[in-house]
Amino acid sequence: MPPPIRQPDRATRLLSAAERDGTHCVWCRRECTGPIRATTDHLVPKVKGGPSWLENEVVSCGRCNRERGHRSPADWFGECERRGWSPDLDAVVGTLRSLDRAIATRGGRRRARPYLAAQLRRLDRLRTDRNRLAS
């Protein structure tokens, strides 16, 4: 086992995620203020070996976090679009990439690696297709 990684507490990580990606929910893009509570959503779910690191966490409203459950980021991304939302692909892909780098640097997390690689492939393909359509 690699040595444990010292991470800031959850409230601090949530603030850092908001500084990185903005204070909107990455899934439905609602601003997380007032009654819309900001929560920490694990992109690679804990049950898939995803760590509680800033590199695996995004800002999500309580509703999206709850409804997503253990669904994969790519599956839930598609579901958000079916609902007519505009999920933040850049924030999701950017965070997954930083997780990929963090795992490469820190080691461990064997269970999360193939899951993460598959998610990055799916979401990168989606982004490439979008960019091609946009240009």
Q: Can you give the binding site for Zn ion, defined by CB under 5 A?
A: 25, 27-28, 61, 64
Cα separation, 81 vs 78, whole angstroms: 5
Q: Which is nearer to Zn ion, 64 or 91 (CB)?
A: 64
Q: Which is nearer to Zn ion, 83 or 101 (CB)?
A: 83
Q: Which two tokens stand for residue 81?
A: 């679009």
Radius of gyration of the chain (CA): 15
CA distances from 108 to 37, 77, 97, 99 (A): 32, 27, 16, 12
Q: Which is nearer to Zn ion, 61 or 93 (CB)?
A: 61
Shortest distance (Å) from residue 74 CB to Zn ion: 17
Shortest distance (Å) from residue 61 CB to Zn ion: 3
